[in-house]
A and B are shown apart, each in its own frame.
Chain A
């Protein structure tokens, strides 16, 4: 089956209202183009999963697509706070937002458990941490061998996982390089997986045997979107647009300004526009 399709078609086919959706990428390879497509298609009441909501979820939350976020660090990395997410949590704008908050260690373990098909993740964590008293999904169990009390959280297995990657081969295999984050775990844990890539190449005949590759049969849709991670980055293609992250702090500070920016850059734009946004950032 040919899994190559337009981003518009992939989102129409796999991302539905009220679904749980993970758009992952640990600072690197964040699938911004896919998020913008979801915003344009006006999906509602999504439960979003992501370790670091970053400005990608700030935008989706501010545009009213989201009713709940499962996360472990809600900042604009190195810059400050996520102003649209804060506005939703503190003031209910544009709608109220439920949150389920974890630590990175818990989320990373939960992704791995999801990829492994387990119902829960077990790890040594949350000791003395107050999150355990405000999140009922943080529990504990006792090791049957040593008696040690360990933290337990549910595995992550969203309806759809969406990641960005460097390359797809003509057969639809996916290559991920650089900071690989939880890309493989999210892709395998999702019931459906959409991958956006920088480019399609003939084959992977010359790559190193230990590189991170997702076989084509393990994903559901592949969309070629050059620049699709911007203002995040794609290792080997273009660097992180740190100036855009700094600028976002100002854009997102005001509701009207935010809406105008979204209108200009998302609603009245297309996946093809991303290629132009990385021109000054190419490596």
Chain B
């Protein structure tokens, strides 16, 4: 296989999967995070605990769920609790180490909008809304984000703050909002890996994916991108990672079309 025999989307999912550890207890957002979390489980982190907001704890689905409440999640879970118990005891109680979220719109401090494009009362586009994210963002010990880069998605100012990231940066999360958890500590896109600056908390590119130039990242981002002084190159997907992802996607497509 040549070094470039993979798509940017595949690179994103695989790079996102690598940041999860075997010991993590991860609250999984639907969509891109769900794929990444399950690739982690099927490759280097077989014992990771995946939690979906429908109440399924320690789930090991054979195909990716279309919804957060597919029967597959319950059938393969260690246990399934009620939704109030999920949010009150397990999430609010501090038992979740990682919240893995996607976003429709996001700013440089990792604040997320999944509510509306345009004005709230008179929206241009009414998006689904927050679901579990507003409290995942503040109650999980830290937050990973995965999102495909575009100027519509990575914007200077989001239209609505559905879920708190680092506010306006610095230690505002703690001082202004009394949120003691770490918040966004990592963002994986189809082009790069980003981490917040330790002081300003602005997302900074720390690693470019294979064959990605700085200008590619800037051209698909609505704010002026900061790059780390020493930039890494994200290792390309291994054969095992790619095969695992492609098999999972194929199984999923077949299952949902049935």
B-binding residues in A (CB < 8 A): 26-28, 51-52, 71-75, 77-79, 81-82, 85-86, 89-90, 101, 103-105, 108-109, 111-112, 123-131, 134, 148-149, 178-182, 184-185, 233, 235, 239-240, 242-243, 245-246
Contacts of B173 in A (CB 8 A): 128
| Further 5 A-B residue pairs, CB within 8 A, beyond A125-B138, A130-B162 | A28-B74, A74-B126, A127-B164, A178-B71, A181-B83
B179 and A101 within 8 A (CB): no
Our pick among A77, A82, A103 for the contact of B130 (Cβ within 8 Å) is: A103
With A104-B87, A128-B167, A179-B55 in contact, is A81–B132 under 8 Å at CB? no
Contacts of B128 in A (CB 8 A): 73-75, 81-82
Give the docked Cα–Cα distance between A122 and B205 (Å): 39
A-binding residues in B (CB < 8 A): 30-31, 53-56, 65-71, 73-74, 80-84, 86-88, 91-92, 111, 115, 120-121, 123, 125-135, 138-139, 160-164, 167, 173, 176-179, 255-258
Give the docked Cα–Cα distance between A180 and B128 (Å): 22
- The smallest C-beta distance from B129 to any residue of chain A, in angstroms, reads 5
A149 and B178 within 8 A (CB): yes
B-side interface mostly: loop
A79 and B66 within 8 A (CB): yes
A73 and B130 within 8 A (CB): yes
Our pick among A105, A127, A246 for the contact of B132 (Cβ within 8 Å) is: A105
Contacts of B139 in A (CB 8 A): 124-125
B160 and A130 within 8 A (CB): yes
Contacts of A108 in B (CB 8 A): 83-84, 86-88
Contacts of A90 in B (CB 8 A): 123, 126
Contacts of A112 in B (CB 8 A): 84, 88
Give the docked Cα–Cα distance between A85 and B127 (Å): 11
A27 and B68 within 8 A (CB): yes
A77 and B67 within 8 A (CB): yes
B83 and A131 within 8 A (CB): no
